[in-house]
Structure 1
Amino acid sequence: MFNNIYDSHCHSNNSHDGHNSVEQMCITAIEKGISGFALTDHCEVDLYKDEYINRVDNSFRDITLAKEKYKDILTLSAGIELGQPNYNIELSKEIINKHNYDFVIASTHGIGDSGDLCNVNYSNMSIREVNDLLDRYFKYYLEMVTICDFDTAAHLTYPLRYIEGVYNVKIDLAKYMDIIDEIFKTVINRGKALELNTSGLRQNIKKPFPTIELMKRYLDFGGELITIGSDSHRINDIAADFPVSLEFLDYIGFKYYSFYRERKANMIKIRL
């Protein structure tokens, strides 16, 4: 039997691609019997002043109101997902310090002038060009976990959601294993968490980010801090595929996962 369910990656309609209000999210979570979730609306640092400055304020306001309203029946964390925080370190610090966050996700959605990697047409690229892009992605990700302030590093292998899941271009991750290992070691040495993002299980790729094999590798290096996030943008996806994900984590040897409050990891036993 699995212990309480805490989803550490959820988006409301304060995200540019979210669909539901925080109120609707809370009602759905209660109906599903979920113990808590972190609201982690998007803030792409490279686009902050143009597109996200008001969204960030609205997101924090809504989750703060919900925390008070539902405090007796639902555990809520006020979070933020910082995309490309290494684009501007000082601005990233300013954004984090603007509100009293419980939880900060660091993500790499784009690299340099690529824009979001979800918008790249991989069918127009040679396999060499795809591999070069992935090489840049992992280097940028390593820089992010090395120099940025965050609590969990999100959806490692994010580009595969599109490269493999949409364009059916098969990638051999073995050639990137050295830098992935460096990412794992850096996260562990800094006392940060790694996210298991379950979104791929309900998408074409049919595997989480990173894969369970990579999570096992993280564990073998001594990684203990993990968060689990549905990356939900609709209420029906809150805590989606958590039972199978917890089964996987339990099978490969994890005993706990984390849910953050006041920037501190609360350890949740996977099995009672």
Structure 2
Amino acid sequence: MYTFDYHLHSKFSADSEMTMDELCQTAVDKGLDEIAITDHHDIDYKDNTIEFLLDKNKYLKEIEKCQQRYKGDLVIKKGVEIGLQSHILKECNNYLDQDFDFIIGSFHTAEKKDLYNGDFFKNYSQWEAYIQYLKSVLEVVRNYDNYSVIGHLDIIRRYGDFNTQPDLMENNKAAELIREILKIIIRKDKGLEVNTSGYRIDAKNPLPSFEILKLYYKLGGKILTIGSDSHTPDKVTNKFNYTKSKLKEIGFKELTTFAKMKPVFHKI
């Protein structure tokens, strides 16, 4: 069985300490056939304590060095995790150009406010925040196409000072917005990421939750990547076997890698 991890961060991301070589060697040691290195690039990120701007030329050259170093042992794809916001879509497009094999479109801010530091949540109740976040995602997917998959769609559950992290499908309005987001993604031949870092907040679910993934399958979604969102070696391929078994239960038969932005399907 062909194995891969499609969400990995090296020191080119400000929140990771792994060198690119350490990341690649970890992938080899864990028996992976392929990885996508997907470091952060967040234009106009709303947290002054950290910067997620990626020196593209330096980054891609380092990936190319690793591609040569691990040739025959590991397929390494040029990926990026781009932070999407409705007011920077032109800048995102200009940055990405045609340089990547694989692009994760992620949402770390909404309404020009940061999720991680809590600014976004200040004037909302829990469900109001979740719904406004999903509206921001919907606006972007309606108007932007330069990505391969949407990363950790329900990441909003990870943030906010709340006692519980409910499945977004529990709320009718949220579920309606998710359905519309998924329909657009499918219509545009884009995909979803299954991000296993979600188990850190919910032992039973990745990001997005299995309920969202069931809806994606029901609507005809087929493009699906799996990624650990690792910033440290110990998290690479975290809970992949469990996740794949649950995806097969839902009905998915294939997972996806990418080459020059084109999906390649592999049997689970």
One-letter amino acid of the structure 2 residue matched with residue 168 of structure 1: N
Aligned to 1:35: 33
Secondary structure of 2:229 counterpart:
coil
Contact 2:10 2:39 in 1 (8 A): yes
- Larger mean CA deviation between 22-31 and 50-59 belongs to 50-59
Q: 8 Å contact 1:8–1:230 — kept in the other structure?
A: yes
Task: Compare the two structures and name the one with the higher helix fraction.
Answer: 1
Task: Look up the match of 1:268.
Answer: 266
Look up the match of 2:151.
154
**CA 1:172–1:213 in structure 2 vs 1: closer, same or farther (change >3 Å)?**
closer
Distance between the aligned counterparts of 2:122 and 2:165, measured in 1? 13
Compared CA separation, residues 212 and 53, structure 1 to 2 (3 A): closer
* Mapped pair 1:169 → 2:164: yes
Cα offsets for 1:62-102 (capped at 9, x unmatched): 111111221211011101111125331221111101x6210
Amino acid at match of 1:143: E
- Does the residue aligned with 1:90 lie in a helix, a strand or coil? helix
Q: Which deviates the most, 68-77 or 179-188? A: 68-77
> Alignment partner of 1:257: what SS?
strand
Change (3 A) 1:40 1:71: same
Shift of residue 204 of structure 1? Answer: 3.1
Compute the displacement of 1:167 (Å).
3.7
Helix, strand or coil at the partner of 2:40:
strand
Question: Using the alignment, how far apart are the partners of 2:32 and 2:175 within structure 1?
Answer: 35
Q: Which amino acid aligns with 2:87?
A: Y
Q: Structure 2 length normalisation: TM-score?
A: 0.90
Structure 2 residue aligned with 1:112? 111
* 2:139 is the alignment partner of 1:139: no
Conserved 8 A contact 1:226-1:258: yes
Q: Percent identity?
A: 30
Shift of 1:241: 1.0
Alignment of 1:103 onto 2:102: yes
Shift of 1:171: 3.5
Q: 2:226 aligns with which of 225, 228, 245?
A: 228
Task: Give distance in 2, aligned partners of 1:118 and 1:8.
Answer: 22
- 1:72 partner amino acid: G
Structure 1 gap segments, 5+ residues each: none
Alpha-carbon displacement from aligned partner over 1:96-145 (angstroms, at most 9, x marks no partner): 01x62101110011112322x121179x968x522222122101111222
Contact 2:39–2:54, Cα closer than 8 Å, also in 1: no
Are the equivalent residues in 2 in contact too, given 1:78–1:101 (CA < 8 A)? Answer: yes
Distance 1:73 1:170, change over 3 A: closer
What amino acid sits opposite 1:153 in the alignment?
A: I
What does 1:1-272 correspond to in 2, within 5 Å? 3-47=1-45, 51-97=51-97, 100-115=99-114, 117-120=115-118, 129-148=125-144, 149-163=146-160, 167-171=162-166, 173=168, 174-175=171-172, 176-201=174-199, 203-206=200-203, 207-270=205-268
Residue pair 1:118, 1:159 contacting (<8 A) in 2 also: no
Q: CA deviation at 1:260?
A: 0.8
Question: Cα deviation per residue 1:5-61 (whole Å; 9 max; x = unaligned)?
Answer: 11111100100101101100111111110111100000002249x945554333222
Structure 2 SS opposite 1:46: coil
Amino acid at match of 1:232: S
Q: Which has the higher contact order (CA 8 A, sep 6+)?
A: 1
Q: CA deviation at 1:237?
A: 1.1
**Residue type of the alignment partner of 2:101:** D
Partner secondary structure for residue 66 of structure 1:
helix
CA distance in 2, matches of 1:160, 1:218: 19
For structure 2, the residue ranges without an aligned partner over 5 or more in a row are none
* Contact 2:41 2:52 (C-alpha < 8 Å) held by counterparts: yes
